């Protein structure tokens, strides 16, 4: 069910005003709400929201266990936060044989990404830990903590489908959001120093901003980069193309300088990028870079003639 929901959401191309989820976090919010709806048998939105509010303590206890497991690089929960059915609905039992006649039962989340989602939820309940996670994400042995950040970006915003406002007081979330994005952007941009040996991860920050769907944060990010996005040498999957396109389209007053030198991008991803070109400076090497990407695609199709019959390739196939 989880894999199918994700696949359907990402494979469907729908209008901007469609209720279809457009970010990873939205998909997981819907999965969480679906699980709670199933276990509670609350079909009405008002009743489901009330159920989530009543079960907030149990849900947040699960989130704490998720954070500790993620920090410890494990997927095994050797203890249960509680035996509540709404908690158990997100876990699967793992029976481990410890002796010929003895077993112990541990638990794990249905998917590791679900564990990361709940870990991000716990961080928003404990915002004093967020700065530490930002710094941990820059260290090799703790870089897996980085995957919690995009979830937090969306969970902080007051958009539908709602979840956080039923778990954490709205004022607490606002207090966190007031400084969260500025500290996030500053932390990752300032990591690019000769001493650190780290490069600015432009794509990761674009992903965070796309998840947040927060125009103000995107503009702040672009201002710090002087409205220049250097993506040279990157490999852009469709999701990342959507993230870049989102950030670029937030700049209404100033054109973006975009570098796509030696970029690897799929035909589906290229279509997402084309939608933001009206916000890009059409000068310098960019026109040549785009032609090189198109010609590379045409060359790939010539090597695989059967692909020319697929509808998705018609937009880039040469007319001859």
The total domain count for the chain is 1
Collapsing DSSP to helix, strand or coil, 300 comes out as helix
What is the pLDDT tens value at each position of the chain, 320 positions in all? 566 666 656 555 555 545 555 788 988 998 899 889 999 998 899 999 999 999 999 999 999 999 999 999 999 998 888 888 888 889 999 998 889 999 988 999 988 999 999 999 999 999 999 999 999 999 999 999 999 999 999 999 878 788 999 999 999 999 999 999 999 999 999 876 544 445 668 999 999 999 999 999 999 999 999 999 999 999 888 889 999 999 999 998 899 999 999 988 888 888 888 889 899 998 888 888 888 887 776 666 556 544 434 443 333 333 33
Tokens of 175: 């207090």
Residue 8 CA from chain centroid, whole number: 16
The pLDDT of residue 12 is 56
Residue 161 belongs to a domain = yes
Smallest Cα–Cα separation from 52: which of 64, 67, 68, 40? 40
Task: Tell me whether residue 145 is exposed, middle or buried, using C-beta atoms within 10 angstroms of its C-beta: 0 to 12, 13 to 18, 19 or more.
Answer: buried
The pLDDT of residue 194 is 43
Range of the domain at 108: 2-169
CA distances from 58 to 50, 127, 264 (A): 14, 19, 45
Contact 90, 39 (CB under 8 A): no
The pLDDT of residue 289 is 85
Contact 204, 240 (CB under 8 A): no
Rounded CA-CA distance 167/62 in Å is 12
The pLDDT of residue 310 is 40
Residue 207 belongs to a domain = no
Tokens of 196: 């650190």
Beta strands in the chain (DSSP E): 91-99, 102-109, 228-230, 235-236, 257-259, 264-265
Collapsing DSSP to helix, strand or coil, 266 comes out as coil
Residue 224 belongs to a domain = no
Tell me the pTM.
0.85
Q: How many residues does the chain have?
A: 320
Beta strands in 193-295 (DSSP E): 228-230, 235-236, 257-259, 264-265
Rounded CA-CA distance 140/248 in Å is 30
Collapsing DSSP to helix, strand or coil, 95 comes out as strand
Token pair 């794990």: residue: 108
Residue 286 belongs to a domain = no
Residue 194 belongs to a domain = no
Contact 75, 69 (CB under 8 A): yes
Q: 228-230 and 257-259 as β-strands: parallel, antiparallel, unpaired?
A: parallel
């Amino acid at each position: 069910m989880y894999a199918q929901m994700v696949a359907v959401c990402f494979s469907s191309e729908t209008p901007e005003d469609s209720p279809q989820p457009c970010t990873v976090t939205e998909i997981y919010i819907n999965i969480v709400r679906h699980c709670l709806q199933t276990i509670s048998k609350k079909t009405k939105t008002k009743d489901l929201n009330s159920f989530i509010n009543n079960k907030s303590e149990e849900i947040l206890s699960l989130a704490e266990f998720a954070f500790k497991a993620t920090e410890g690089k494990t997927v095994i929960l050797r203890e249960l936060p509680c035996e509540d059915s709404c908690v158990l609905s997100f876990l699967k039992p793992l029976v481990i044989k410890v002796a010929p006649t003895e077993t112990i039962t541990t638990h794990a989340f249905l998917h590791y990404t679900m564990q990361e989602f709940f870990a991000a939820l716990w961080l928003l309940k404990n915002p004093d830990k967020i700065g530490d996670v930002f710094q941990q994400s820059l260290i090799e042995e703790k870089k897996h903590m980085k995957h919690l950040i995009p979830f937090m970006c969306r969970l902080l915003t007051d958009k539908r489908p709602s979840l956080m406002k039923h778990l954490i007081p709205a004022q607490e979330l606002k207090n966190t959001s007031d400084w969260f994005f500025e500290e996030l952007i500053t932390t990752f941009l300032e990591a690019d120093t000769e001493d650190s040996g780290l490069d600015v991860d432009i794509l990761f920050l674009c992903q965070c901003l796309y998840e947040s769907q927060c125009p103000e944060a995107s503009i702040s990010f672009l201002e710090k980069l002087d409205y220049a996005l250097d993506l040279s040498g990157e490999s852009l999957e469709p999701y990342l193309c959507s993230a870049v396109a989102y950030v670029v389209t937030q700049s209404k007053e100033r054109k973006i300088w975009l570098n796509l030198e030696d970029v690897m991008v799929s035909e589906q991803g290229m279509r997402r990028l084309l939608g933001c070109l009206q916000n890009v400076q059409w000068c310098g090497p960019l026109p040549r870079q785009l032609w090189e990407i198109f010609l590379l695609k045409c060359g790939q199709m010539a090597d695989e003639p059967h692909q020319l019959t697929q509808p998705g390739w018609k937009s880039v196939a040469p007319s001859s």
